[in-house]
Structure 1
């Protein structure tokens, strides 16, 4: 099992591999730019070279690093901004030598939401055959695991899943790996976001909480992590706080595993 955190880019990107080692993480996730602004910012060559050099110096396998796409990208509403922003995210992953990119599938009110989202993603992803796209369950498209399965089937190769425990809980799923495995096939889940929930079961409110401080509870989280089926999985904490506080949560978790 690999445990890590979402590293804030309050530090420059090329320092993140060093922080990964400093905090004794097995894996890490990050944004390449602000997730709440349309910026279309590309990683410059100098940053990319230094980042990859630090990955090598810290002996971090690129498969243990994950980029999270901007929250503004909505594949189900394929505007020119969405196309451009998603393409920039894929290009940044390519420049940094990172092979796993986490994406929220988006939302729309039309009956063909899944068709629109899959067409948008498929069109852009085919330009980057070495990068895996990890579709995350959300409170919108992906609120049912069947949505994610359909999207993967429609898009095809290089599509996997990222499962968020808070999102599962607030969309009415208990943390039952057998149920998830039956729908998605556990081998297709490349990453788990490990978060407790401030909001109630089935509420569809996306409100992350520190582990053990929310309504999922620490006992349920420990039971999940001890299940044999996911012992080779990667887990990233996106809990409220800082890099330092999230790394302390990792240290606490390790005492129980």
Structure 2
């Protein structure tokens, strides 16, 4: 079965997330635990969480994914920004502990001129303070397009972080198809090669999720602008190949395409289900 969902608004609460997912034919979803611009999260309502867990159990949802705010930067040149990143991640992992089988995704950050080596130390040091063997939620490093001073534009950079983390079993990777293609990984013409590179450098057992997005930009552009499925430079055939690839098809897929409302996501989910074999 294809496990697919999209990014949903958390404005109405946990139970509403589950209901919105059902409405669009999803069996998983992604959401921000707080504003994508950062700040404090709403007080945790455990009754609301349990209402979501009931929907998850009754409808066999898999791997609910929380996304860290975009302002989380563990390798900033400002100490207070790095401290904020750690505080947010600790709080978010605690919140996700109430949702079984959950995942937590974050952008590794931007080194702002300090260099990749120093950034890797900062990111991995934070993860060593945050991750514990007891937690259930798996934390995921997202592959990045490489704009500006982003860290994580190559599999090698992600491996540098993973290698320094002590509780490796609680750390994985989330592919973003738009980011990968914009970073120079040719998912269109050499999907097998990209998969083999990831397996050789990091290991496919570390790949836990895929953000499935077309790109408004050409190959190797380092731009990071998402497009609707089949309307960008990757094209529908690429996504059909990805969701049906024997080494990827078991993973959960999350749409982050530019949509005006849930109907757009519903149509994309139906399109991908139609092409799933």
TM-score, length basis structure 2: 0.85
1:146 is matched with 156
The superposition leaves residues 48-80 of structure 1 with CA deviations (integer Å, 9 ceiling, x where unpaired) of 233323333x3334x421111111111113532
SS of residue matched to 1:229: coil
Q: Tell me whether 1:133 sits opposite 2:139 in the alignment.
A: yes
- Conserved? CA contact 2:214–2:231, under 8 Å: yes
SS of residue matched to 1:64: coil
Please give the root-mean-square deviation of Cα atoms over the aligned residues, in Å.
2.0
Mean CA deviation greater in 20-29 or 122-131: 122-131
How many angstroms apart in 1 are the aligned matches of 2:201 and 2:106?
19
The Cα shift of 1:127 comes to 8.0
How many angstroms apart in 1 are the aligned matches of 2:249 and 2:133?
33
How many angstroms apart in 2 are the aligned matches of 1:211 and 1:10?
25
SS of residue matched to 1:54: helix
1:251 is matched with 270
Tell me the matched-pair count: 255
Q: Tell me whether 1:3 sits opposite 2:4 in the alignment.
A: yes
1:168 is matched with 180
Mean CA deviation greater in 12-21 or 37-46: 37-46
Gaps of 5+ in 1: none
How many angstroms apart in 2 are the aligned matches of 1:44 and 1:226?
38
Mean CA deviation greater in 218-227 or 146-155: 218-227
How many angstroms apart in 1 are the aligned matches of 2:239 and 2:170?
29
Write the mapping of 1:165-204 to structure 2, written as runs, cut at 5 A. 165-175=177-187, 176=191, 177-204=195-222
The Cα shift of 1:157 comes to 2.8
1:115 is matched with 121
SS of residue matched to 2:29: strand
How many angstroms apart in 1 are the aligned matches of 2:172 and 2:24?
27
- Conserved? CA contact 1:31–1:67, under 8 Å: yes
The Cα shift of 1:148 comes to 1.2
Residue 253 and residue 51 in structure 1: after superposition, are their counterparts in 2 closer, same or farther (change >3 A)? closer
Residue 69 and residue 178 in structure 1: after superposition, are their counterparts in 2 closer, same or farther (change >3 A)? same
Residue 225 and residue 52 in structure 1: after superposition, are their counterparts in 2 closer, same or farther (change >3 A)? closer
The Cα shift of 1:46 comes to 3.2
Q: Which portions of structure 1, spanning 4 or more consecutive aligned residues, are displaced by more than 4 angstroms? A: none
1:100 is matched with 103
Task: Give the one of 111, 130, 134 matched to 1:124.
Answer: 130
The Cα shift of 1:40 comes to 4.2
How many angstroms apart in 2 are the aligned matches of 1:239 and 1:74?
23
- Conserved? CA contact 1:5–1:247, under 8 Å: no
The superposition leaves residues 104-124 of structure 1 with CA deviations (integer Å, 9 ceiling, x where unpaired) of 111112231101111012201
Gaps of 5+ in 2: none
Residue 227 and residue 97 in structure 1: after superposition, are their counterparts in 2 closer, same or farther (change >3 A)? closer
1:19 is matched with 20
How many angstroms apart in 1 are the aligned matches of 2:263 and 2:60?
20
